Amino acid sequence: MEQKKTFYHEFEVFSKRTPSSSFQHQFSLLAPNAEMAMVMAQENFMRREPVADIWVIQREHIRGLSKEEKTALNRLDNKDYREMKGYGYLKKKWRFYQQKMFDEKEILSWSGGNKHD
Amino acid sequence: MSVLEKELNEHEKLEQFIARIEAGDKIEADDWMPEEYRMALIKLISMHGISEIMGALPEKEWVPKAPSLRRKLGIMAKVQDEMGHGQLLLRVAEDLLKPYGKDRGDLMMDLFSGKLKFHNVFHMPAKTWADAGVIGWLVDGAAIITQTNMLNSSYGPYSRALHRICAEEVFHAHHGESIIMALAEGTEEQRNMLQESLNGWWEALLMFFGPASSTTTGSSKQDVTIKYKIRTSTNEELRQSFFTKYIPRIQSLGLTIPDPTFRFDEEQQLWIYQQPDWTKFKQIITNNGPRSQARLNLRRVSYETNAWVRDALSAVSN
C-alpha cells in the first residue's frame, strides 16, 4: 500500500495490567514507526499503572465496522436457548429433588480444586 | 456512502444526531456530526491540548530550582504528565480535523501565528517556588473543575481522554497541596511568599473560567458546548463552584483573599467578587501577556530545532 511520507502515523495502543488479564484499548498516538510507537505508548499511557504487556497497531491495519454493519449487531431477544435464563426453571426442579442448582457461581468456584469436605 | 445515508437529508441527520446525544449515546470520530459541533470541539480541544503543552513551560522553569530531590522528581513527573495530556488531546483534535486535511503540524503553526490560543494562566510568570505550588494547587484545582464538568461529554474520544487526564490531575492537586502546605507551615518568609503568590494569581484564577457571558468579551463558546452536551455548567457556575470548594481551604491556612469586597451572599447563595479586568484578559490571551512571547519562542525554537528528526524518521518509515 502506498503511504504518505510523513512522520505522523496513527497507532492504536493496547495493554494488559497483569499476565492473566486481557488486552485493553488505551488510546491512540502518533509515531513514525512501531518502535517509536512502543516507546511513546509507555511514556504516554503507562507512567503509573502496572503493565504486563503492550501492543501497538497501525490504525490503517485495523478492519473496523461501518455504520451499516454496526446496525446489524443489534441482537434479537429470542436466544434464551443460548443463555442461562433459558434454563432457570431447573432451579425449581432440583429443589424438588432436594438438590442445589449448580449455577455459574458454584461451577466457577471449583477452580480452587475439588476436595471432599 | 450507503443508500440509507443518501436518503437522509441534512435536517434528518441533525435530528438523529440530537436524539443520540439526548439519549446519552457517545459520538465517535467517524460518525456524522453537524459542522457547528465539529468546529466547537476542534476549537475547544485544540485549545485545551495546546494549553497543556504551554502549561508545562512555567512549571518546567522550576525543575532545576526545586528545593529538594523529591520535589524535583515530583515536579518533573507533573511536567511530563502535562505533556502527555497535550499528546492525548491533540490526537482527539487531529481526528476531528481530518476532513479538512489538517494535522498536528498545522495546529503548531496556528499556535505560532496566534490563531490558536492557550489558557490565560500560562501567559503568567512563575517567579517563586510558591508559584509552582499555587499552580499545582489552585490552577490545577480550577482545571479539575472545568475538566470534570466535561467528563461525560457527548464526544466519546474527548470523554475518554478526560477520564485519563482527571485521574492524573488528582495527583497534581496533591502535589501542589504538598508544596503549599510546607510553605504555609513554614517560616514567616515562606508564609509571606505564599500570600504574595496567591495575590499574584488571584485575578488569573478568576479569569481562568472565562467571562460570565459573551457580552463581556464579545464571544463565548459556552452556549454551543452546553447545547451539544459537551459540558454541563456555565462559566459562572464553575467559578462559583471553585470558590465553594477552595475558599474555605485557602482561609483555613490563614491566607487572605486579595479582594476586600469578597464575600458569600446568603440571600443569593452566591460568592460576590470584584470582576477581573476583562480587557486585560483579552490582551493576555492574544499573546500580549507578561510571558506570552517568551514561551511561544521557546516552543517555536524547539519545534524548529527538532525539525530534522521529523524529516529523518519520516524518510525511513514505511
Minimum distance, in Å, between the CA of residue B102 and any CA atom of chain A: 12
Task: Say whether residue B160 is in contact with chain A using an 8 A CB cutoff.
Answer: yes
Please tell me which of the candidates A9, A27, A66 has its beta carbon nearest to residue B317: A9
- Do A57 and A13 lie in a common domain? yes
Q: Does domain B35-208+222-316 have CATH number 1.20.1260.10?
A: yes
pLDDT in tens, A49-93: 899 999 999 999 999 998 889 888 988 888 888 888 899 999 999
Please tell me which of the candidates B81, B91, B160 has its beta carbon nearest to residue A29: B91
Contacts of residue B214, defined as CB under 8 A and 6 or more positions apart, other chains included, come to: B220, B223
Report the alpha-carbon distance of residue B244 to residue B237 in Å, rounded: 10
Exposed/middle/buried for B279, CB within 10 Å: 0-12, 13-18, 19+?
A: exposed
- Do A53 and A86 lie in a common domain? no
Segment A5-26 shows an average pLDDT of: 94
B77 contacts A67? CB cut-off 8 A: no
Domain layout of chain B by residue ranges? 35-208+222-316
Asked whether residue A53 is assigned to any structural domain, the reply reads yes
Report the alpha-carbon distance of residue A20 to residue B37 in Å, rounded: 41
Cα-based distances in Å from B276 to A40, A51, B224? 41, 46, 24
Instruction: Write down the pLDDT at residue B316.
Output: 64
Asked whether residue A66 is assigned to any structural domain, the reply reads no
Chain A hits for B94, CB-CB cut-off 8 Å, are: 30
Give chain B's residues under pLDDT 70. 1-7, 215-220, 316-318
Name the residue of chain A whose CA is nearest to B105's CA. Answer: A8
Q: 51-110 in B: which are within 8 Å (CB) of A?
A: 77, 80-81, 84, 87-88, 91, 94-95, 103-105
Task: Say whether residue A33 is in contact with chain B using an 8 A CB cutoff.
Answer: yes
Give bridge partners of residue A56 from the DSSP assignment. A13
Chain B hits for A15, CB-CB cut-off 8 Å, are: none
A47 contacts B84? CB cut-off 8 A: yes
Interface test with A, best of B27, B82, B318 (most A CBs within 10 A): B318
Chain B hits for A66, CB-CB cut-off 8 Å, are: 2
Instruction: Write down the pLDDT at residue B80.
Output: 95
- Do A56 and A86 lie in a common domain? no
B318 contacts A67? CB cut-off 8 A: no
Report the alpha-carbon distance of residue B12 to residue B18 in Å, rounded: 10
B80 contacts A43? CB cut-off 8 A: yes
Instruction: Write down the pLDDT at residue A84.
Output: 87
Give bridge partners of residue A24 from the DSSP assignment. A15
Asked whether residue A50 is assigned to any structural domain, the reply reads yes
Instruction: Write down the pLDDT at residue B157.
Output: 97
Report the alpha-carbon distance of residue A58 to residue A41 in Å, rounded: 13
* Count of structural domains, chain A: 2
Instruction: Give chain B's count of helices (H) and strands (E).
Output: 15, 2
Take residue B256 and report the three cell numbers written for it: 487572605
Domain assignment of residue A14, given as a range = 9-61
Instruction: Write down the pLDDT at residue A2.
Output: 45
B314 contacts A7? CB cut-off 8 A: yes
Exposed/middle/buried for B261, CB within 10 Å: 0-12, 13-18, 19+?
A: exposed
Which of B57, B102, B109 is closest to B83 using CA atoms? B57
A27 contacts B77? CB cut-off 8 A: no
- Do A56 and A88 lie in a common domain? no
Task: Say whether residue A97 is in contact with chain B using an 8 A CB cutoff.
Answer: no
Instruction: Write down the pLDDT at residue B4.
Output: 53
Give the orientation angle of helix B156-184 with respect to helix B69-97, to 10 degrees: 160
A43 contacts B313? CB cut-off 8 A: no
Number of Cβ pairs < 8 A linking chain A and chain B: 56
The C-alpha R_g of chain B, in whole angstroms, comes to 21
Report the alpha-carbon distance of residue B240 to residue B51 in Å, rounded: 23
What are the phi and psi torsion angles at B213 (to 5°)? -150, 165
Q: Which amino acid makes up residue B188?
A: E
A67 contacts B91? CB cut-off 8 A: no
Which of B53, B190, B50, B213 is closest to B134 using CA atoms? B190
DSSP secondary structure letter of residue A54:
E
Chain B hits for A32, CB-CB cut-off 8 Å, are: 310, 313-314, 316-317
Total-model pTM: 0.89
Strands in A24-31's sheet, in edge-to-edge order, are A24-31, A9-16, A53-58
> Could you give the 3-state DSSP secondary structure of residue A21?
coil
